[in-house]
Amino acid sequence: MSALLSVQGLTAGYGGVPIIEDIDLDVAEHEIAVIIGPNGAGKSTLLKTVFALTSRISGSVKFIDRDITALKTAQLVPLGISAVPQSRNVFPTLSVDENLDVGTYAAPPGDKQAVRETVLELFPDLKDKLDQPAGELSGGQRQMVAMGRALMSEPKLLLLDEPTAGLSPAYLEIIFDLLLDIRKRGVTILMVEQNAKQALRIADTGHVLVSGKNFVSGTGEALLADDAVRRSFLGGAAT
Amino acid sequence: MIDFINLYLVPGLTIGSVYALGAVGISMIFGILRFAHFAHGDLMTIGAYGVLTAVWFIPLHPLLLLPFGMALAIVAALAVDQFFYKPLRKLPTIYTVIASFGVALIFRSLAQLFWSSGNQVFIPGVRPPLVLFDTFRISALHAQAIILTVVIAVALHFFLTRSKLGRAMRAVSDEPELAAVAGLDTERVVRWTWVIGAALAATAGVFAGMDTSMHPNLGWNLLLAMFAAAVLGGIGKPMGAIAGGLIIGIAEETATYTWLSDEPLISPSYKSAVAFFIMVALLLFRPQGLFKGRLL
Amino acid sequence: MELTGLFFYLVSVLIAGGIYAVLCLALNVQWGMGGLFNAGIAGFFAVGAYASAIVTTAVSERHLGGFDLPIPFGLAAAMLVAGVTGWAVAKICVRLKSDYLAMASVGIAEILRLVIVNESWLTNGSLGISGVPRPFGDMVRGREADLLYLAMVWLCVLCVYILCQRLYVSPWGRTLRAIRDNEDSARAAGKDVDWFRLQTFVIGCAIMGLAGGLSAHYFKFLSPSATEPLLVTFLVWVMLMAGGSGNNRGAIIGALAIWLLWSATEIFTNRLPPEWITRSSYIRMLFVGLLLQFVLQRFRSGLIPEKSPEIRSD
Ligand SMILES: Nc1ncnc2c1ncn2[C@@H]1O[C@H](COP(=O)(O)OP(=O)(O)O)[C@@H](O)[C@H]1O
Ligand SMILES: [Mg+2]
């Protein structure tokens, strides 16, 4: 099976200074792929580079056999890739409803109303907040708005940067369940997670990123069982 | 009391309407492009001269010829954005501020070159004011300015909250990077910001020019009050800018009323300082403005 | 004859160029070193001009005056009054962030202009102040006086340059640039950012006042319409950007280069057909506006760039 997303030899950073180097990474269709690693390892930078938000130095990114390396950020949504950044991922003065609506603007044509219903089914908490400005919601609800917005364009691939950062353990469970639910609907997920242990449990594949380099990749189970990974990244580090 | 309304409040609302229409553009540009557009006053001047020129050739009321002024202002705004502001987008925005300062001078010298450096009028002659209820007097121009501003405010509100483009504008103003991530074409949003800002600037310029007379410094002289209005309404809040404009206009005019004694509270020759003090006080004590605008 | 005419034309250009060099050095203190955007240069320039004129003119019932003091006192008064004005402004405005400070400074220039136009007891309003003395005015006259004045102006440029250069390399200047380049980390390092900014603003304004004084004694007459305020402010900005902001020598070279260019365009526009000649100053303004855009896009670090690489982030 060919990969949905294929990253090859990717080197990128900010202002010409490389942060991630020579990254290879494949994401197969319908899987949940998780990137873990210490703070500052370049995990966000990797996701941002796929989304053309950093300065790429070399390497390529392919999406369903199409080379998307040179595309601009705004051109990716129509192809079927959506992303939720780590922070500032909602439009704070727009209402929840408007946030979701903005998510459809770059989508390929389709039944917007049906998609909206599906998304609200996934996030029933948002139903009675539709008219509230997104900036006034709690962290967990904001994360749902952000994911909802990203799903409104009916993506094939969803990139998530630490969707559970700063959330209470209760919310963490909810979000992880949601991810499984989203995957069931045919969306492939590539996400960065700090809660490495829990994330690897639901992940099909995991990638450990250290100092901008791909340290090890494998199935979620394999990584959970790997001694080196356990000691360095899952022991006390799983915060 | 009726004197207060006729001589202070109505003129205040009129000049406030001019500020409001100009400040909408300033606020939107500040929100979306993140810089203080120093050439906005002179953009008003250009738009107003466009209408003045149309009046020479077409014998219609200047307000009916507004589209000519709007078109000229829009072309001018899109051109300076393309050639002078866009190349500086990646730099700290203060460079664009400096560039817009230069554009102000470019607009003004073009106005002086193509029109004249003297005063010109749209419609010669004096018109008697409308008299309502025996004592309430309002000139047709003032009534037109106030009514049109209200209409524009309502239309703008629906545009920003209901239309796809309006929502996209607010999204880009909120979080430009996220807007790009969501697939919005930010450059398209920027272009429409200029189109709307310039069209409203031209409208404001015509009202200002008809209220007094047309001269190349017309817009520059209004710039300070329009900045104050944009700050008062909250940066990036077009509807706030409209409220801010009206408040600044009323504050300026009524500050010269004989509140405490037979003397005007503030000498009319210092009227334009009122806007400045409101603006500075706001920036220091409530920089988000009345309607929770963005902080720089 | 033609040649001496040209020579003295050049002298007058260099006098004005020197006054602009002082202004440009002042802006370099505020913007180049301190990162403070001042769009009200003309206001402080005018304050200095009036201060010096009032202190040095003979008694007149049209305006405050009659102190009849020697010119050095006039220039000192120019610096003092402009500096104090700058202090009052800075006290309120210096905490404002870049764009806001720019907006406020336009308002300050406007208010200073209003004061000058409206307070006739002080400035004789729009009629202006005449009989402002030249140095050694009773000993040398005419063209020789111009030569003498040229020397005096450039002596001032030299003094201001030495002062600014010392400020730049001093620990004070280093702190200032640290604030300019990264305000937050300077604040975190315990620097009193607002206090440094206030000092910077006041020093810059005082020097602008000096330039105003120099111009008052050169033209011997002063009125609110003697200069187009926006044009003065604008030209100084173009000069600093072209010369290289952050660099004192760049400021002087930029002032001279742009002023020579401005003066040269006058020669050119004077040859235009008569129906265009009345509009020549607008063509020149257009030209400078376009020149600024060119400098900003292609030539940002200027003729003599600041030595330490400019790392400026938003
Ligand atoms: N916008 C930026 N400009 C410059 N450097 C950045 C930027 N964002 C992140 N970095 C740097 O890149 C490195 C990796 O950051 P990031 O990708 O956010 O790490 P992670 O998400 O793994 O915690 C860090 O050293 C950080 O300082
Ligand atoms: Mg991160």
Percent above pLDDT 70 for chain C: 91
Please provide the distance, in angstroms rounded to a whole number, between the alpha carbons at the two ends of chain A: 35
Whether B113 sits inside 8 A of C300 (CB atoms) is no
Q: Is residue C44 part of a domain?
A: yes
What's residue B201's pLDDT?
Answer: 96
Ligand 1 atom closest to the CA of A161, numbered from 1? 21
Residue B64: both structure tokens together: 């009916």
What is the residue with the minimal CA distance to atom 6 of ligand 1? A14
Name the residue type at position C43: G
What is the residue with the minimal CA distance to atom 7 of ligand 1? A14
Residue range of the domain that includes B40: 2-117+139-285
Total count of domains within chain B: 1
A80: nearest CA partner in chain B: B183
Average pLDDT over residues A64-91: 92
Q: What's the residue count for chain A?
A: 239
Tens of pLDDT, residues C170-224? 888 888 888 888 888 888 888 888 888 899 999 999 999 999 999 988 887 887 7
Q: Is residue C236 part of a domain?
A: no
What's residue C2's pLDDT?
Answer: 75
Name the residue type at position C263: S
Tens of pLDDT, residues A165-222? 888 888 888 889 889 999 998 999 999 998 888 888 889 999 999 888 887 888 877 8
The mean of the pLDDT values for chain B is 88
pTM listed for this prediction: 0.89
β-partners of residue A26 are A6
Lowest mean pLDDT among A117-121, A162-166, C107-111, C125-129: C125-129
Q: Determine if ligand 1 sits within 6 Å of the CB of residue A43.
A: yes
Neighbours of chain A (3+ CB pairs under 8 A): B
What's residue A61's pLDDT?
Answer: 93
What's residue B199's pLDDT?
Answer: 96
Residue B131 C-alpha, separation from nearest chain C C-alpha, in angstroms: 35
Q: Is the dihedral of CA A215, A219, A224, A227 positive or negative?
A: negative
Task: Using the predicted structure, report yes or no on whether residue A234 has a pLDDT greater than 80.
Answer: no
What's residue A148's pLDDT?
Answer: 94
Please tell me the number of the ligand nearest to residue A212's CA: 1
Q: Tokens 């000498």 map to which residue?
A: B267
What's residue C1's pLDDT?
Answer: 54
Task: Using the predicted structure, report yes or no on whether residue C14 has a pLDDT greater than 50.
Answer: yes
Whether A102 sits inside 8 A of B185 (CB atoms) is no
The mean of the pLDDT values for chain C is 84
For residues C262 and B198, which has the higher predicted lDDT (pLDDT)? Answer: B198
User: CB-CB: which of B87, B97, B220 is closest to C102?
Assistant: B97
Partners of C99 on chain B (C-beta within 8 Å) are: 30, 35-36, 93-94, 97, 296
Whether B170 sits inside 8 A of A77 (CB atoms) is no
Containing H/E element for B288?
A: none
Distance CA A196, CA A213 (A): 17
Residue C95: both structure tokens together: 């905490």
Q: Is residue C313 part of a domain?
A: no
Q: Is residue B52 part of a domain?
A: yes
Residue range of the domain that includes C145: 2-227
- CATH number, domain A5-233: 3.40.50.300
Residue B107 C-alpha, separation from nearest chain A C-alpha, in angstroms: 34
Percent above pLDDT 90 for chain B: 54
Q: Is residue C98 part of a domain?
A: yes
Tens of pLDDT, residues C144-180? 778 888 888 999 999 999 999 888 888 888 888 888 8
A38 C-alpha to center of ligand 2: Å?
9
Tens of pLDDT, residues B195-205? 999 999 999 99
What's residue C63's pLDDT?
Answer: 66
Q: Determine if ligand 1 sits within 6 Å of the CB of residue A7.
A: no
What's residue A236's pLDDT?
Answer: 47
What's residue B290's pLDDT?
Answer: 74
What's residue C227's pLDDT?
Answer: 62
What averages of pLDDT result for each successive group of 10 residues across chain B (296 residues)? 73 90 94 93 95 89 91 97 93 90 93 84 72 72 86 93 94 93 93 96 93 89 92 88 93 78 74 84 78 68
Chains A and C touch (3+ CB pairs under 8 A): no
Q: Is residue B221 part of a domain?
A: yes
C93 touches chain B (CB under 8 A): yes
Q: Is residue C255 part of a domain?
A: no
Total count of domains within chain C: 1
Lowest mean pLDDT among A92-101, A113-122, C37-46, C90-99: C90-99
Partners of B161 on chain A (C-beta within 8 Å) are: 98
ipTM over 0.85: yes
Backbone angles phi, psi at A9, to 5 degrees: 55, 40
Average pLDDT over residues C130-149: 74
Q: Tokens 């502001």 map to which residue?
A: B85
A122 C-alpha to center of ligand 1: Å?
32
Distance CA C115, CA B270 (A): 8
Q: Is residue C252 part of a domain?
A: no
CATH classification at residue B150: 1.10.3470
Provide the pairing of β-strand A32-36 with B136-138.
Answer: unpaired
Tens of pLDDT, residues B93-151? 888 999 999 999 999 999 998 887 778 887 776 666 766 776 767 777 887 888 899 99
What is the residue with the minimal CA distance to atom 25 of ligand 1? A40
Average pLDDT over residues A74-101: 93
DSSP characters over chain C = -HHHHHHHHHHHHHHHHHHHHHHHHHHIIIIIIT------HHHHHHHHHHHHHHHHSPP-TTSS------HHHHHHHHHHHHHHHHHHHHHHHTTS-HHHHHHHHHHHHHHHHHHHHH-HHHH-GGG-B--PPPTTTTT--HHHHHHHHHHHHHHHHHHHHHHHHHHHHSHHHHHHHHHHH-HHHHHHTT--HHHHHHHHHHHHHHHHHHHHHHHHHHHS-B-TTSS-HHHHHHHHHHHHHHH-TT-HHHHHHHHHHHHHHHHHHHHHHTTS-HHHHTTHHHHHHHHHHHHHHHHHHH-TT-SS--SS------
For residues C314 and A43, which has the higher predicted lDDT (pLDDT)? Answer: A43
Average pLDDT over residues C218-247: 83
Where exactly are the structural domains of chain A? 5-233
Q: Tokens 């005007």 map to which residue?
A: B264
A4 C-alpha to center of ligand 2: Å?
23
